[in-house]
Amino acid sequence: MPRLFFSIELPAPVKERLLQVRASVAGARWQSSAQLHLTLLFLGQVSEGRVSELCDAARCLRLPPFDLSVAGVGCFGQPASPRNLWVGASPREPLVALQAALKENLGPLGFEFEKRTFRPHITLARFKKQRGSVAGLLEEYRDADFGSFQVTEFVLYQSTQGAGGSVYTVVERFALEA
């Protein structure tokens, strides 16, 4: 069964700027350019037979394109022992609306979703048990601007575990249109 999630792809210039935020930090597993994205909705394992149903429901969304700014570095967990280093995305409202619309369309089909509050972000690094401090990176990049772009589509990705971490393959792209 494929492991699936909906996401916003990032343009190459934004990814290039994000890849500059790297430092030698104990336990950090830095994301590659191909792994940088903004997750909208994680679905987990989905049977092959349900993928077309999932795509049909996503195609029904009618939301307008919107501008997105990528800026500011933060972390989940304490800076001295983080779980995740991330970059923020704003404005939040169109991202929250897109995620809510996906949930509304997919919920009646029996898909279940994470209960925690949606916090739009782009993961830069994940940390193993041995975690080094990211306090210096937070200070250096707290107000950094990594670029803006117009979001004109969202993507359904399949995630497969690989030797260098997860490998993401596009299953289908969905246009945003008013």
Residue found under tokens 């997919």: 106
172-177-72-11 Cα dihedral, nearest 10 degrees? 50
13 phi, psi to nearest 5 deg: -60, -35
Q: Is 1 a catalytic site residue? A: no
Beta strands in 46-120 (DSSP E): 66-78, 81-90
Catalytic residue among 28, 120, 121, 151: 121
d(CA 102, CA 44): 15
Contact status, residue 63 vs residue 97, Cβ threshold 8 Å: yes
List C-alpha distances in Å: 44 to 27, 108, 145, 157.
Answer: 25, 17, 32, 11
Catalytic residue among 5, 28, 31, 37: 37
Q: Is 37 a catalytic site residue? A: yes
Please give the single-letter amino acid code of residue 153: E
Of 77, 70, 71, residue with least CA distance to 127:
77
Catalogue the active-site residues: 37, 121
